[in-house]
Amino acid sequence: MVNPNYQRMSDYVDIEAKNAYEMLLKKGLSPTDAFAIIKTKARDNSRTPMHWDNSRYAGFSSVKPWLMPTGQDQINIEAELQHGEIFTYYQKLIWLRKHEQLISACHIAMLWPDDPQVFAYNRSLPEQSQQLLVINNFSNQSKQLPLGPVWENRSAKVLISNYGVSLKQLPQVLSLRPYESIAVKC
């Protein structure tokens, strides 16, 4: 789910959001600018009812809930279960966590910690030579990531990838697409 797409302050219920809006107005911000700030920071954004289906109250209730849902016609569980990929992807992640010791019981070491675009780490166990390399591109831009001598040319098995990547060997430079995530056992 994404934040609700409220169009006016009266849609918000949180007293802190209402008070913050009034303080922003007193500081001289226009109602439009003050509302834009509230819209991005309000606690109500994380409190809207779960979107179970695309009905008026998102399948959460048959009567008006405390906070009105928005966007349930675009994002809802019923549609995800019928046509989506997110639920299946999370099922794979849960299966891996239950069945892959390198995920559930090992040491973690951060990789490329100064890269603002990439969040990466490896997981290992002292008694095993195999390691798990997890690389996430948290940007809407592609990324060329030089793997360096520690990783390049190692045999690899992709455990999960949101782009359906398959590798038999790690390259010298890994090309990551926007928002790409990959977990490789090597």
Q: Give DSSP secondary structure letters for 42-107.
A: -GGGGTSPP--SSSTTTTT-SS--SS----TTTS-HHHHHHH-SHHHHHHHHHHHHHH-HHHHS-E
In the prediction, which pLDDT does 102 show?
87
Domain boundaries, the chain: 9-82, 101-185
Q: How far apart are CA 63 and CA 20, in angstroms?
A: 29
pLDDT grade for 105, boundaries at 50, 70 and 90: confident
Measured CA angle at 24 (ends 18, 25), to 5 deg: 90
Average pLDDT of the residues in 143-149 = 92
143: β partners: 176
Average pLDDT of the residues in 90-111 = 90
Q: How far apart are CA 56 and CA 64, in angstroms?
A: 9
Q: Which CATH architecture has domain 101-185?
A: Sandwich (2.60)
Q: How far apart are CA 95 and CA 88, in angstroms?
A: 11
Type of residue found at 128: Q
pLDDT, one tens digit per residue, over 29-74 is 999 999 999 999 999 998 899 999 999 999 999 999 999 999 999 9
Residue predicted with more confidence, 13 or 128:
13
